[in-house]
Structure 1
Amino acid sequence: MSGANQTREVVRGYHEARFRGDVATAAALVGDGFSFRSPLMSSDDATGHLAGITGFVQVVTGVDLISELYGESEATLVYDVHTATPVGTQRTAEHFRLVDGRIAAIMLIFDATPWQPMRQLMG
């Protein structure tokens, strides 16, 4: 399997597992030394990042994939996340870096402004 095809398999597998709340499958695709960065939070280990998936997917009502770009050891997905929150639909870009066929880093890019009032209410 070529590098870009393997990257696609890993990243799409993670993306699909995460949005169906399948933390075990998502975790199996994440490698050692994992880091996650977004406008609202960051984590330097897979455990911290994966712990938030279950709660987040409870408010997700759908995901529409807009674009997928794959390389040998990186990928970028652009998608709309539809939520049952006042935010509604959130346009998101997500960049993945892979090392040895597993996800080593994720950078999530979105406008965090609509999430601020809810974040303040949740403490």
Structure 2
Amino acid sequence: MTRATTTTTRATVRAYHRARFRGDIPAAARTLAEPFRFQSPLLSSDSAHDHLSGLDAFLDIVTGVDLISELYGETEATLVYDVHTSIPAIGTQRTAEYFHLTQGRIDTIRLIFDATPRHAVMQAATPS
């Protein structure tokens, strides 16, 4: 593992994380590669545009983020953090986010969290 590559991975992932939670879609998009793949317990997408298009709605419920852990390698990284939300049924969502990078840009994100509280909220919001 080279220190320069790990430093690039760290800078890219941190830039994405900061931009995402600030709602800075252009800055977040600059860190993503094409092709790009996103997967989470609730949705997936095959393009950076599709992935970032729902960011505003997500940030509408976020009241804060506490980073717990960061792990970096040459072409991958993992962040663990708590997302605090304004929805009592969700509350704080413990999240792990795995990143894979190619040529210094993020080509894959796998978001891992317990989606059970969100299913109840989504079901309540769906008209019968």
Q: TM-score, normalised by structure 1?
A: 0.96
Residue 96 (structure 1) aligns with: 99
- Could you tell me how far apart the structure 2 residues matched to 1:14 and 1:26 are? 5
- Could you tell me how far apart the structure 2 residues matched to 1:102 and 1:121 are? 38
Residue 75 (structure 1) aligns with: 77
Residue 56 (structure 1) aligns with: 58
Q: Deviations over 1:21-51 (max 9, x none)?
A: 1011000110011000000000011111000
Percent of residue pairs bearing the same amino acid type = 59
Q: Specify every segment of 5 or more residues in structure 2 that has no aligned partner in the other structure, as ranges.
A: none
- Could you tell me how far apart the structure 2 residues matched to 1:100 and 1:73 are? 8
- Could you tell me how far apart the structure 1 residues matched to 2:35 and 2:55 are? 19
- Describe the SS at the equivalent of 1:92: strand
Query: Alpha-carbon deviation of 1:7?
Result: 0.4
Query: Alpha-carbon deviation of 1:94?
Result: 0.2
Partner residue of 1:18 out of 14, 20, 24: 20
- Could you tell me how far apart the structure 2 residues matched to 1:121 and 1:54 are? 21
- Could you tell me how far apart the structure 2 residues matched to 1:118 and 1:48 are? 23
Q: What's the RMSD between the two structures over aligned residues?
A: 1.1
Q: Paired residues, what number?
A: 123
Q: TM-score, normalised by structure 2?
A: 0.93
Query: Alpha-carbon deviation of 1:120?
Result: 2.1
Name which one, 1 or 2, has greater alpha-carbon Rg: 2
